[in-house]
C-alpha cells in the first residue's frame, strides 16, 4: 500500500470535514481562505453563525489528539483571519471558532468530530 503524503492526508480530512458540515446543514463559503500567509481551512454558514473551522487530521494511533494540535499560536492566526474576513465581507452574523477532528487509518476516514466553540479569542488585561 502506498503511503499518503501530508498534503493528501490534509485534503482527505478537509473533504470529510466539509461533507460533515454540509450534512449538518452548513453552506460552505470558503475553503483554504487566506489573508497573507494566514489561512483557515473552512468557512461555513449556518443560520446566523459564520463558523471558522480548523481541520486537524491524524492517524488513529497518533499520540496528540487533533484538537490538541490547534495551539495558541494557530488560534491567534485563525482569529486574525476571521476578523479580517468578517470586516472585508461586512458580515454581521456571529463568528464562531470550531475544530473538526478527523481520524484516519491507512487513508480511510474512521471518525469525524465537530467541536463547536472549540476556543475563544483571548483578551489581554493589563
Domains by residue range for the chain, with CATH: 6-115 (3.40.1350.10)
Backbone angles phi, psi at 7, to 5 degrees: -65, -40
| 91's grid cell | 458580515
Helix (H) or strand (E) holding 35: strand 27-35
Residue-wise pLDDT tens digits, 61-98: 776 666 677 888 888 999 999 999 999 999 999 999 99
Distance between CA atoms of residues 17 and 21, nearest Å: 6
pLDDT tens for 17-62 read: 999 999 999 999 999 999 999 999 999 999 999 999 999 988 877 7
CB 112 within 8 A of CB 20: yes
Are the beta carbons of 79 and 68 closer than 8 angstroms?
A: no
pTM: predicted TM-score of the whole model, two decimal places: 0.89
The C-alpha cell of 65 is what?
A: 489528539
Amino acid at each position: 500500500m502506498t503511503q499518503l503524503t501530508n498534503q493528501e492526508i490534509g485534503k482527505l480530512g478537509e473533504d470529510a470535514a466539509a461533507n460533515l458540515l454540509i450534512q449538518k446543514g452548513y453552506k460552505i463559503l470558503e475553503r483554504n481562505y487566506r489573508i497573507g500567509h494566514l489561512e483557515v481551512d473552512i468557512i461555513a454558514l449556518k443560520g446566523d453563525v459564520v463558523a471558522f473551522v480548523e481541520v486537524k487530521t491524524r492517524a488513529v494511533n497518533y499520540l496528540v489528539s487533533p484538537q490538541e494540535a490547534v495551539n495558541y499560536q494557530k488560534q491567534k492566526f485563525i482569529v486574525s483571519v476571521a476578523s479580517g474576513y468578517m470586516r472585508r465581507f461586512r458580515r454581521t452574523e456571529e463568528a464562531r471558532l470550531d475544530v473538526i477532528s478527523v481520524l484516519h487509518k491507512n487513508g480511510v476516514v474512521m471518525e469525524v468530530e465537530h467541536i463547536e466553540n472549540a476556543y475563544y479569542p483571548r483578551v489581554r488585561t493589563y
